[in-house]
Structure 1
Amino acid sequence: MTTTTEKIKAGILGASGYTGAEAMRLLLRHPNVEMTLLTADRKAGQPVEEVYPHLGGYGLPDMISVEDADWNTVDVVFCGLPHGTTQEIIATLPAKVKVVDLSADFRLDDPETYAEWYGHEHRALELQKDAVYGLTELYREKIKSARLVACPGCYPTAVLLSLVPLVAAGLIDADDLVIDAKSGITGAGRGLKQNTLFSEAGEGLSPYSIAKHRHAPEIEQEVAKAIGRAAADLRVNFVPHLIPMSRGELITSHVRLAKGKTAADLRAEIAKLYEGEPFVRLLKEGAVPQTQMVRGSNNCVINVFEDRIPGRAIVISAIDNLVKGSSGQAVQNMNLMFGLEETLGLEQAPLFP
């Protein structure tokens, strides 16, 4: 654990996006961090309060272009840039700068899988081999010594926290996972898109990227690792939905129990793995996870229910997609990378109503 009083100098690349804004919000109250660099090419030259009025008055630096960034002013960068762009920029950074990547560029271990799902070859293979998957609760020790951490996508975070303990323990069938996922509109980013306009998304519920969402291979990769199989040999049924709310994510997973196992066995395994964890909580038996329980926090709540169909169970988890599903998990990982208390900057309770 570090004892230095010198603050960590942090840069946020892509600070004008929702994940960038959330990182700024969290880091403003981090006692060991000073934000010294904010990039946002389309907003270059603008003060933060013109881009995000709620972050005005805190003395944050103006936003600049990546080309004008001085990497000597940062110890760590949070990268919220589009896929592809991230690889190219990170490859140019000085080796002393640690990277917490919120994009998809280093999440997939296999470059061929990356090319298949993201439409271009991986552009930083030398860095890929050193990247650590940033699902904090499952890769904590590796994250502590990493220079580059690839934070999971929001859907994989909520899915894997609830299912990996169960497949790893042999309690459920990894070949029969049906994942019904729902996320708030911020998950689609801040760019202007017709399907996220208020009049298009409001008062409705829409599935999207059916059987082709880019988070599916990420889920398959990590589930396969948990049981010692190749990701290419595993497929999950994953359908995401867009919910007309700003933030929040709810995952309902329908699973097949291993022979002789019960929903109570699943609850016991989750309780055992996450005992003492600051941000992951198994609810009391019968309590239903809701996005209202975690809004604005870095928390994940989970519960397990017996299905009406014999031999099956229902596992439900909820997170805030912008916090535990993105910037909060990124700050949690940064804390580990610098030997800090894991909860620093993340102590806020959920916001309700």
Structure 2
Amino acid sequence: MKKVSIIGATGYTGGELIRYLLRHPGVRVVHVSSERSAGQKVSALHPDLLGKIDLILHKQDPDKIAKDSDLVFLCLPHAESATAAKRYLDLGVKVIDLSADFRLKSAALYEKWYKVRHPQPALLKQAVYGLTEFYRSKIKGAKLIANPGCYSTTSILTAMPLVKKGLAKRGSIVIDAKSGVSGAGRKVEEKYIFGETHENFLAYGVSGHRHLPEIEQELGVPATFVAHLLPVFRGILVTVYAKLSRKISVKDLHKIYSDFYKGERFVRVLDEGKFPDIRAVQHSNFCHIGVGMDPKGDTAVIVGVTDNLGKGAAGQAVQNMNLVLGFKEETGL
């Protein structure tokens, strides 16, 4: 039985991680930390866990946590997470970081988008980007995993076959992305309260969203990305538009996607002419993709959905943990 700990366990992602890990047959959660809620049961912050896990939240104590943890999940704010990662790595513990601190390979790019100096730039070369479908072999031997962003995961999975097969004209990719409010985290901010989101729909980060450089880094091409806030709690839907570099039928485009993700447990390409909805992937680690084309036949229209708390965060983290700790990739998922 492997032992894992969650640093920053009171947010939506921390709670979702606990739910996934409770049904995992090969791991046990031994520590859950919180600086503001220390002393309370974790079930006081996540009432659905009452009777399932009785751990007490405590303030982070790396020396104590490292003694009986094979791996830690860091669910901390950016800039804060990198410093914690360094401490646990020095203590010999493997780290899956769910913040943005190690997603970008360039410290300069991180500083540009996150408006803060990178706390541990020397670790950037060590970190492996944790989109399992593309970095599986590297993840297996890694000590530090950068769990991808929720928008990034969905956008990259949806767009990648177009890029890898040379089907998208350079500079033509547009990603229209929509997320439930849980993607903003568990915080009190006016625009995220029920009265503001209910029966409402809005774009945000139009002039530059922090997940854009991550998406461009992994796709290797420029893209236009606009995020929108859906009046739902969980789920992401992205529509990727791209001018095609050559004439191709919808049938052949669909086959390219089906072949590209053949054998992938958690990416499902729907039947030709079918398009996904977020309800189908909520509370799961799956990404569903629908393949289409505009009526003129010169623009691919690809729709992808994930649960931002599942494949976009906690589920992806558990998928990565399985590889790092030697379990079958789908265990507990």
Which of the five TM-score ranges fits, normalised by the shorter chain? over 0.9
User: Aligned letter for 1:244?
Assistant: P
Of residues 256, 269, 276 in structure 2, which corresponds to 1:289?
276
The equivalent residue for 2:100 is 104
Runs of 4 or more above 2 Å deviation:
67-70, 260-266
User: Aligned letter for 1:24?
Assistant: I
What is the correspondence of 1:219-230 to structure 2 with a 5 Å cutoff? 219-224=215-220
User: Aligned letter for 2:153?
Assistant: T
Of residues 27, 47, 53 in structure 2, which corresponds to 1:53?
47
The equivalent residue for 1:135 is 131
Q: Normalized against structure 2, the TM-score is what?
A: 0.97
Q: Is the Cα–Cα contact under 8 Å of residues 153 and 215 in structure 1 kept in the other structure? A: yes
* Consecutive unaligned residues in structure 2, runs of 5 or more: none
User: Aligned letter for 1:289?
Assistant: P
1:269-318 C-alpha deviation (Å, 9 max, x unpaired): 21112112111000011111100111111111001111023411200000
Q: Normalized against structure 1, the TM-score is what?
A: 0.91
1:170 and 2:175 matched: no
1:173 aligned counterpart, secondary structure: coil
Counterpart-to-counterpart distance in 2, 1:254 and 1:95: 46
Of residues 222, 236, 247 in structure 2, which corresponds to 1:249?
236
Q: Is the Cα–Cα contact under 8 Å of residues 106 and 124 in structure 2 kept in the other structure? A: no
Of residues 19, 31, 36 in structure 2, which corresponds to 1:25?
19
Of residues 194, 200, 216 in structure 2, which corresponds to 1:198?
194
Q: Is the Cα–Cα contact under 8 Å of residues 284 and 307 in structure 2 kept in the other structure? A: yes
1:107-138 C-alpha deviation (Å, 9 max, x unpaired): 00011000000111111122111100000111
Q: Is the Cα–Cα contact under 8 Å of residues 17 and 314 in structure 2 kept in the other structure? A: yes
The equivalent residue for 1:10 is 4
The equivalent residue for 2:80 is 85
Counterpart-to-counterpart distance in 1, 2:111 and 2:285: 31
1:209-259 C-alpha deviation (Å, 9 max, x unpaired): 1131100000010111xxxxxxxxx43111101111110110011111112
**How far apart are residue 61 of structure 1 and its match?**
1.6
1:305 and 2:299 matched: no
Counterpart-to-counterpart distance in 2, 1:132 and 1:71: 21
User: Aligned letter for 2:331?
Assistant: L
Of residues 311, 315, 325 in structure 2, which corresponds to 1:338?
325
Q: Which stretch of structure 1 is more off in the superposition, 100-109 or 67-76?
A: 67-76
1:209 and 2:205 matched: yes
**How far apart are residue 171 of structure 1 and its match?**
1.4
1:38 and 2:32 matched: yes
**How far apart are residue 66 of structure 1 and its match?**
1.3
Counterpart-to-counterpart distance in 2, 1:92 and 1:268: 47
Counterpart-to-counterpart distance in 2, 1:263 and 1:101: 39
2:19 aligned counterpart, secondary structure: helix
Q: Is the Cα–Cα contact under 8 Å of residues 179 and 234 in structure 2 kept in the other structure? A: yes
2:171 aligned counterpart, secondary structure: strand
Counterpart-to-counterpart distance in 1, 2:305 and 2:287: 6
The equivalent residue for 1:264 is 251
1:76 and 2:71 matched: yes
* Consecutive unaligned residues in structure 1, runs of 5 or more: 1-6, 225-233, 347-353
Q: Is the Cα–Cα contact under 8 Å of residues 14 and 75 in structure 2 kept in the other structure? A: yes
Of residues 143, 146, 164 in structure 2, which corresponds to 1:150?
146
Counterpart-to-counterpart distance in 2, 1:268 and 1:60: 49
2:271 aligned counterpart, secondary structure: coil
Q: Is the Cα–Cα contact under 8 Å of residues 295 and 320 in structure 1 kept in the other structure? A: yes
59 and 289 in structure 1: CA distance in 2 versus 1, 3 angstrom threshold? closer
- When the two chains are superposed, the root-mean-square deviation of aligned CA atoms in Å is 1.2
Counterpart-to-counterpart distance in 2, 1:237 and 1:60: 45
2:36 aligned counterpart, secondary structure: helix
**How far apart are residue 95 of structure 1 and its match?**
4.5
Q: Is the Cα–Cα contact under 8 Å of residues 37 and 73 in structure 1 kept in the other structure? A: no
Counterpart-to-counterpart distance in 1, 2:187 and 2:2: 30
User: Aligned letter for 2:72?
Assistant: V
User: Aligned letter for 1:41?
Assistant: E
